[in-house]
Amino acid sequence: MRTRIFQIAVTIAFLLCVGNAYAGTTAPADMMLVAPAGMQARKPDVPFSHTLHAKQGLECKTCHHTWNGASEMRKCGSPGCHDQPGKKDGMSFYKAFHDSRSEKSCVGCHKAAKKAGNIKAPTSCRQCHVKK
């Protein structure tokens, strides 16, 4: 009986590990967001913290809106995504981060958060495009 319970426990532990490996997309804690290769950056790069945003109770899919839970995380500026230069185009790289009408974008969500009373969500250029 004892060994049987032990075997079951080992099997469950094994399955849990395999399960984690499959769903195991881990977010890097801190990263620098940069313009994609080929696009000349006019503004300083932007630091981004997954840890801080996880504390806001945000789901991965709020930002990684093409992610299905198992696929690879695509970069915002991947070909076919927000890969257009300029500002106006709906699929422009710029708009992915500054569309004030979409809460998937940095500025859009921060503006909404500010409106709701959270003064810690930055909305001015300098606060995100931090000088190195």
Which residue ranges make up the site for ligand HEC (CB under 6 A)?
Answer: 25-28, 31, 33-35, 41-43, 45-46, 48, 50, 52-54, 56, 58, 60, 62-64, 73, 75-77, 94, 97-98, 103-104, 106-107, 109-110, 113, 118, 120-125, 127-129
CA atoms within 13 A on the CB side of 41: 10
Token pair 């300083």 is at which residue? 44
Please state the closest distance from residue 129 (CB atom) to ligand HEC, in A: 6
Distance CA 86, CA 69 (A): 31
Smaller CB separation from ligand HEC, 2 or 42: 42
CB nearer to ligand HEC: pick between 10 and 28: 28
Question: What's the min distance (Å) between Cβ of 53 and ligand HEC?
Answer: 4
Give the nearer residue to ligand HEC in terms of CB position, either 11 or 66: 66
Which residues are CB-neighbours of 124 under 8 A, at least 6 positions away? none
Min dist. Cβ of residue 75 to ligand HEC (A) = 3
Residue 5 to residue 12: CA distance in whole angstroms: 11
Q: Which residue has the tokens 């995380």?
A: 73
- The CB-of-22 to ligand HEC minimum distance in angstroms stands at 13
**Closer CB to ligand HEC, 4 or 132, in the complex:** 132
Q: Position of tokens 């079951």?
A: 8
C-alpha to C-alpha distance for 57 and 72, rounded to whole angstroms: 22
